[in-house]
A and B are shown apart, each in its own frame.
Chain A
């Protein structure tokens, strides 16, 4: 599933003028859309120089940093929304990152490819090999996706860690993607 379909969904769930922080912002597609269509202000964070450069060319403000090391450079509740789109499965410490998101933002939007998608389940069952799909096209030994997370896994994580799910895109085994809006239940 292309990234921009996630973006549309995120766009629909963010109010006008919100202050946003986009973790793993890539070349700034989402922030650019949020700025143009929703009049949002905000910053992107990315670890790759090429992405910082791409964002700069679009006039998007970015912070060069590693989200796995936390968001210590950002103060509490500095943003309305902190977004982690298609990156959860690539972080080393997902829970820590989510907790940090809920510290610096009032709400967090998290999207990820669903490893519990029926096609993946079926492929694993039938072939006995780590499944490859259009959404998850990588070989097991050469993938940036170091975390295997399904929609059910994510719900469980939230439940266990007092994270309140505000919007659960009624995802199930027929969903290729998971999309959640959460806030701190503490």
Chain B
């Protein structure tokens, strides 16, 4: 039996890293399963850049009854991050002071801000200790931030395909994505309307993103150099290859479900994430953590390569913290963490079971 419920949390006075504050904000969240009497079986799942609160859908491979993040056993909470556009307060929301959308007047937010907002939500549910905070990619950054900011409130931290600071190559891809949006004539300093969204820019940003989330191997396997419904090259600048059409499809699909301003804010939040900068060193950042860590990388992930995960592990080991590291064998690149993967499921499940039993 698994109960699923989607709700809204209304929070106040969120102090932000930029020095600004949100006097009021909303968080959309979904819970799965039942909170036990002593509220010890709650865990928080954090989503990646384009995700939402419905972990049971976007992380179907791990979250559900009998799965590694077992909703018959744990009370699984997933909230849409602030700055996003799936129900939580972000640039697309109405500014209560003006009655119009924030757009670019929304304060720039960070991973820290997202976590601070989540903490207010968790507090409102009366949960003082989370069995785990789990996430991949940007969700992994949030999980790490939780372990550092609220060491007493989380018992385990599972960070997958992520890093303690965005590597220069990933920073660069992020910048190109933002540039594509900003340089779209429809962008209008973020003041576009529903009819004039910067479709082209947002679509290109997603196309670039999608390439970085996959691997050379998976693209070769899935598309190769196959031509799209033609026998030979067109000798023009229309779409020749299947991979081109697939990318365009991914871009178009994304435009219909995501807001361009939100993309800018969330990409920026990832770019700013840097535990070393904030604490002087990574070892110093993890000095007071109390969680047991499971740090996982993906063998074919070149956007968040294994080296980034190992840096986290090394810093934790220097501080004598309990940490397990594993490189998961998967061929689909960064996004592999979202897909069915036996190695990934088994490790998450065993880690949660062992640590939860202790």
CB-defined contacts of A57 to chain B, threshold 8 Å: 350, 353-354
Which B311-331 residues have C-beta < 8 A from chain A?
313-314, 317-318, 320, 322-327, 329
* Chain B, residue nearest A49 (CB): B343
- Contact across chains for B324 and A73 when beta carbons are under 8 A apart: no
Is A140 in the interface zone, CB < 8 Å from B?
no
Neighbour of B317 across the interface among A43, A49, A64, CB < 8 A: A43
CB-defined contacts of B317 to chain A, threshold 8 Å: 43, 63, 73-74, 78
Is B347 in the interface zone, CB < 8 Å from A?
yes
Is B18 in the interface zone, CB < 8 Å from A?
no
Q: Given the known A-B contacts A57-B350, A73-B310, are A49 and B326 also in contact in the complex, defined by CB atoms under 8 Å?
A: yes
- Contact across chains for A59 and B326 when beta carbons are under 8 A apart: no
- Chain A window 63-97, contacts with chain B (Cβ cutoff 8 Å), 1 for yes, 0 for no: 11100000001110010000000000000000000
Find the residue from B294, B347, B358 having the highest chain A CB count within 10 A: B347
- Contact across chains for B320 and A19 when beta carbons are under 8 A apart: yes
Is B253 in the interface zone, CB < 8 Å from A?
no
- Contact across chains for A64 and B350 when beta carbons are under 8 A apart: no
Nearest CB of A to B336, in Å: 15
**Interface residue tally on B, bucketed by range:** 20 to 34
- Contact across chains for A41 and B346 when beta carbons are under 8 A apart: no
Nearest CB of B to A57, in Å: 5
Tell me the interface secondary structure of chain B in the complex: helix
- Contact across chains for B322 and A61 when beta carbons are under 8 A apart: yes
- Contact across chains for A56 and B325 when beta carbons are under 8 A apart: no
Nearest CB of B to A46, in Å: 10
Is B272 in the interface zone, CB < 8 Å from A?
no
CB-defined contacts of A109 to chain B, threshold 8 Å: none
CB-defined contacts of A41 to chain B, threshold 8 Å: 320
- Contact across chains for A64 and B325 when beta carbons are under 8 A apart: yes
Which A93-147 residues have C-beta < 8 A from chain B?
none
- Contact across chains for B323 and A61 when beta carbons are under 8 A apart: yes
- Contact across chains for B350 and A73 when beta carbons are under 8 A apart: no
Neighbour of A62 across the interface among B325, B346, B354, B358, CB < 8 A: B325
Q: Given the known A-B contacts A59-B354, A59-B355, are A53 and B347 also in contact in the complex, defined by CB atoms under 8 Å?
A: yes
- Contact across chains for B314 and A56 when beta carbons are under 8 A apart: no
Nearest CB of B to A58, in Å: 7
Neighbour of B324 across the interface among A19, A55, A74, A78, CB < 8 A: A55
Which 3 A-B residue pairs are closest in the complex by CB-CB distance? A64-B326, A56-B350, A59-B354
Chain A residues with CB under 8 Å of chain B are 19, 41, 43, 49, 52-53, 55-59, 61-65, 73-75, 78
Known: A49-B329, A57-B353, A57-B354. 11 other contacts (CB 8 A): A43-B323, A49-B326, A49-B343, A58-B354, A61-B292, A62-B324, A62-B326, A74-B317, A75-B314, A75-B318, A78-B317
Jot down 30 A-B pairs with beta carbons below 8 A, ordered by A. A19-B320, A41-B320, A43-B323, A49-B326, A52-B324, A52-B347, A53-B347, A56-B294, A56-B347, A56-B351, A56-B354, A57-B353, A57-B354, A59-B354, A61-B292, A61-B324, A62-B325, A62-B326, A63-B313, A63-B317, A63-B324, A64-B325, A64-B326, A64-B327, A73-B310, A73-B313, A73-B314, A73-B317, A75-B314, A75-B318
